[in-house]
Structure 1
Amino acid sequence: MKISIGNDHAGTEYKLAVIGLLKSMGKEVINHGTDGADGVDYPDFVHPVAEDVESGKADYGIVVCGSGNGASMTANKHQKIRCALCWNKEIVELAREHNDANILSLPARFISLPQALQMVKTFFSTEFAGGRHERRIEKIPCK
């Protein structure tokens, strides 16, 4: 399974830890994020993640910025993307079970690193429930 990941300067520490976790889980990682602390613009690193997922180059994506909002908004501009901004593992479970989220947005300034890693584990261990939720997903327009 391939995971595309992108981050801005606020998410570098989290991104590096998440990459380590993903590799330990046997996942291949495509890194579009910055590896530094100098200020950068999150869309420059989020658009490539969304494009990877949208095109099928990656199975899922993870984006990390300070609040998670900008990254999520940017990713959700792409067709076929259902990026969920999550702040605890319960929201991650619902995003996967009910919304079939294919990109996880992490708010680095508002969650701890252990929380972030648990959320990533939850994202990949939770399946889409389908059923009534599938009908709802189909109503999200993809132009």
Structure 2
Amino acid sequence: MRLDKINRNILSLLQSDARITNQQLAEKVSLSPSSCLNRVKKLEQAGLIGPYIGVVNLERACRSVMAIITVKLQDQSTEGFQNFLSCANDIPELVECYTVSGGFDMFLRVAAADMTRYNQIVDQLLDIIPGKVNLSSHIVLSTDKPFRGYALDSLLEE
């Protein structure tokens, strides 16, 4: 899909406020509401936007333990990675998982209710990984710059 200036502007505006009305969005990008809605639907169908979610501030909502876990798998095969990922997807507290290059293979972000549950998750991860594994935990002390969206202006330059 072609991302012209208007589409890039729509993406940027929706990223900063997913609850903006179609009328407001249309005004900001200088389109009619129907034309704007058609563009948004095409962007959604192309998989460029969505799902729309509300970001919960866990620090205000509840007590929790946030941790980053790095994983080094012994089994470096595609099947080894797929087996790990299919099992990891069954852990609801595992909120993000990245396959990365460098000194470890996976970067996981976990949000657990408390340290007891966090330890259970670590044990569960160790149980699902066949063979030797190097797992390193890093408890998040503070979130100094939370994710607020991508720098679309520089990433989507023509």
TM-score over 0.5 for the alignment?
Answer: no
- With structure 2 as the length reference, what TM-score do the two structures score? 0.22
Structure whose CA Rg is larger: 2
